Structure 1
Amino acid sequence: MATDETAAQGFVRYTCRAEDMQIEARRVGHLRSGIRVFQHLSDYFATRLSPTEWPHCLMATVSDTVSTDRPSFLLVFGADHSVMDAYSMMLAISEIQRIYRSVLTGAGAELPDVGSYIEFGADDRAMGVTMTVDHPAVQHWGRYLRSGGGRFPAFPLPIAPRVTEVAGTFQESALHQSSLSSWVLTAPQAERLQSRSRAAGHSTQSAVFAALAATHQVLVGAQPLRCAMPVHTRYAPEHTHAMGWYVGLLPLEIDHTEADTFNELLARTTAAIDSTKSLARYPFPRIASLLGSTEMPRFVVSYVDVRFVPDAEQWQQWGVRPLRSSELSDDEVYLWIARSTGGIAVSARFPSN
């Protein structure tokens, strides 16, 4: 192993050759129910995965010992989300399948060449160091946060905090969040939405956020729709299929006042996204440091198109299921809107109260 950074900076980076890596199997034994399997995997990933400890991704297999007609097993891949974005996890699906296929057939896995996330991170940090409070990105974020009293936008509908009595005093306490995942458009419906949007000169992404703005207009009223919007930062070709955290953050605000038609909402949505999308290139942690802010996003909406992820057309056949670990929060609302070969789906986590 070789040290690439000094311990004086707080972390030491070690690298080793790929051929020196080994995988160690650990047999758990027979678990008599699906609930026990779930509990074991949840506890195992919760206690073993960490962004500052090796490894930050683990795999487990669940063998079917009941069915005798066709032996099978379930593969569970877990990763710490602090160091691996959602797109990386989706890429892993294809890579794992190709590695298994390579072992079974003897053919090459044909994995793509990729760039180094470590080097990307170094460049990202170097860019951040050059920024000052006068930088346009810092100024934009400063205005955005000040308009919310120094905080990220909250979910625009009422959320009542959970209040419990402790030693005669009432305190707010966070709950485990609830979640949902639902299809909202079939593949043909998504195609029609795309055609409708393109005919007006806009993208499906704009159509999705325009629909959200229309909902906000009906349920909330005249004030703009405001949320944090994660976007990818895989700008270089060598990072297209790389593993890592390639995510920037946009301060989205859509003014839908007196927007009476879908075309008008589309135009305003596209303008709102275009006016801020360049900010994704600048690391938000550095921006927050320059602003003296320790606030965390509370209302987050993400849109991704995963149709062109390698082997995405096979996910339904493979029974792919993305899962998230539990979270504690009484005010965070996250929406993940994804377009795949099956249509458009929405996943969410939100307060259980």
Structure 2
Amino acid sequence: MRMVGLDDLSVGHGRLMTWQLTDASKEVAAEAGPAGPPSHNQELRLRQAEAGHASGRWPRRWHLSASVADTVDPAALQLALTEFVRRHDTLRSLFRRESDGAVRRYVLPASAVELKRSRGEWCGTEEKVLAALSRLADTVTDPWGWPGTAFAALTGGRESTLFLVSDHLHVDLYSHLLAADEINRLHRAHRESRAADLAEPGSFDAHAREDRKDDARPLDGTVEHWTRFARAMGGRLPAFPLDLGVPSTDAMPLFRRNIPLFDEETASAVELWCARHGGTVPAALMAASALSVRELGGGSTFGALVPMSTRPVPVQPSVGWYVSAVPVWFEAPAGTAFADVMRQARQSFRTSRCRQDAAVERVLAALPSHIAQDRTFWFSYADTRSTPGAEPPQVSNPRLTFNPSLGAGGDVWINRNPDGTHMHVRCPNTPQAVKTMHAYASGLRAHLLDAVGRGQGQPPQ
């Protein structure tokens, strides 16, 4: 899975067909009555959307694009997409704020799912394809709107490209990969007039209800742990640990870049070295990050919010936003062996995960008001090799794209894919910030490869 900015997405040209739930189905969903509450992360997203509406800084959207070698059969694909939406209840969810102020979910019954298909628009250039996708996204990625998801297919070349357009409200990274795999399998099955061999999916609505069961339970221990974290970070949740040259109050257009770190052969060697030295790949990446930051003048205390999956094993084949986060912090003083720093990073993550007994959104809301939470630094790692469709590859070139956005901080996502490990970085689009982020990424890569005996590789460009 590559993560790229929308402006950097390369898709070619051709005929673009689109599918989305009908407007009439919104009333059917509302008539079904409230199903349950949103999950904690969904409710936060909905509040952010309300604020975004007021400021004019919405929508924020995600696109998934994935290439398939087969020629798309529009009728079979419509059946496939209809079945896919019926399988996953979050894609049939509508949110409303009730008269009592509570936000409730309404779910369109699976039997009532009906998709409308466009006649198809010929887009003679890539720019026209991206413009059409952006127009589609503007109509479906408002978290308070309907529908919350749309699909598209670009045909006309040697291979076809499928698109899923949705807000983060309904999908996480795993969900995008699951969608690419399921839609491709369903399309093939309907084209061949057979049933697709897919596992029974879980319900994100049920997960959200479970997410709310302990809302009345006190958070004293968890809040105390996070407060110690903030104290170690200077009295706030950590921002990106290097000076990006942008005042914290400024919201600027963001620079995004996908940087290759190393191929899969090297990634396997890194994994083996980590296991032999009492660590893990994500812990080693955080250790290398800490050393790179220290080398560039950012200090010896590393801190970040690290996402973690909340996806229960029985609900693996389920589209939804199954993500929480924990605080990770540790020391990386000069002269400390890399393996020791890595083990500290691993222990910090394990300790925080054990003490995290509530959704991160509940914890953040419960922190003392003097703890600043702006520009928080996120450091994410995901191994996509065991995700649906990875082996053997059913789809090729899956990419997750974002629309242009504004901000003042920096964040890092590292994905290990079957063909190698890549880092996606985000920072303000200024010369100093971009230069700093490239230096940070080069240092991270160099420190990790030197530690495992694979140094002297070319730094990322």
Q: TM-score by structure 1 length?
A: 0.87
Matched, 1:298 2:376: yes
Instruction: Report the AA paired with residue 373 of structure 2.
Output: E
Aligned with residue 119 of structure 2, among 4, 9, 27: 27
Conserved in 2, the CA contact under 8 Å of 1:304 and 1:338? Answer: yes
* Matching of residue 10 in structure 1 with residue 102 in structure 2: yes
CA displacement, residues 106-126 of structure 1 (integer Å, 9 cap, x when unaligned) = 222222223221121122122
In the superposition, relative to structure 1, how do residues 226 and 162 fare at CA in structure 2: closer, same or farther (>3 Å)? Answer: closer
Instruction: Kindly indicate whether the alpha-carbon contact (under 8 Å) linking 2:410 and 2:425 is maintained by their aligned counterparts in 1.
Output: yes
Partner of 2:319: 243
Matches within 5 A, 1:117-196: 117-132=204-219, 135-148=220-233, 150-161=235-246, 173-196=250-273
More deviation, 181-190/143-152: 143-152
Task: Please state how far the C-alpha of 1:228 moved relative to its aligned partner.
Answer: 1.1
For the residue of structure 1 that corresponds to 2:154, the secondary structure is strand
Per-residue CA distance 1:180-200 (angstroms, 9 max, x = gap)? 112211111011111111111
Q: Is the 8 A contact 1:128 1:283 kept in 2?
A: no
Q: Which amino acid aligns with 2:134?
A: S
Give me the whole-angstrom Cα distance separating, in 2, the residues matched to 1:48 and 1:146: 41
Query: For residues 304 and 104 of structure 2, what CA distance do their matches in structure 1 show?
Result: 36
- Per-residue displacement from partner, 1:128-167 (whole Å, max 9, x unpaired)? 33124xx21111112323444553211111122279xxxx
Kindly report which structure 2 residues correspond to 1:251-262, keeping only aligned pairs within 5 A, or say none.
Answer: 251-262=327-338
Deviations 1:34-88 (A, max 9, x none): 1121122123213421222232221112222xx5xx5x43211112113321111
Can you give the 5+ residue segments of structure 1 that lack an aligned partner in the other structure?
164-171
- Are 1:325 and 2:403 an aligned pair? yes
Secondary structure of 2:351's partner? helix
Q: Any idea what SS the aligned residue of 1:347 has?
A: strand
Say yes or no: does 1:114 pair with 2:201: yes
- Structure 2 CA distance for partners of 1:279 and 1:121, relative to 1, 3 Å: farther
Root mean square deviation, CA, Å: 2.4
Task: Check the 8 A contact 2:290/2:300 in 1, yes or no.
Answer: no
Is the partner of 1:129 in helix, strand or coil? coil
- What percentage of aligned pairs have identical amino acids? 25
Q: Residue 334 of structure 1 aligns with which residue?
A: 411
**Does the CA-based 8 Å contact 1:84-1:245 persist in structure 2?**
yes
Aligned to 1:348: 425
RCO comparison, higher one (Cα < 8 Å, 6+): 2
> Which letter maps to 2:385?
R
Match of 1:54 in 2: 146
Query: What secondary structure is seen at the aligned counterpart in 2 of 1:269?
Result: helix
Q: Is the 8 A contact 1:153 1:298 kept in 2?
A: yes
Relative distance call for 1:209 and 1:201 in structure 2 (3 A) is: same
* Counterpart in the other structure of 1:233: 310
1:4 positional shift: 2.9
Deviation (angstroms), 1:314: 4.9
Query: What is the CA-CA distance between 1:176 and the residue it aligns to?
Result: 1.6
Distance in structure 2 (CA, Å) of the matches to 1:73 and 1:233: 33
SS in 2 for 1:126: coil
Q: Which residue of 1 aligns with 2:388?
A: 310
2:242·2:298 contact (CA, 8 Å) conserved in 1?
no
TM-score (norm 2): 0.68
Amino acid at match of 1:137: T
Counterpart among 130, 145, 149 of residue 38 in structure 1: 130
Alpha-carbon shift at residue 127 of structure 1 (Å): 1.7
- The letter for the 1-side match of 2:381 is Y
Of 259, 271, 279, which residue of structure 1 is paired with 2:347? 271
Conservation of the 8 A alpha-carbon contact between 1:113 and 1:238: no
Are 1:287 and 2:317 matched, yes or no?
no
Distance in structure 1 (CA, Å) of the matches to 2:326 and 2:218: 17
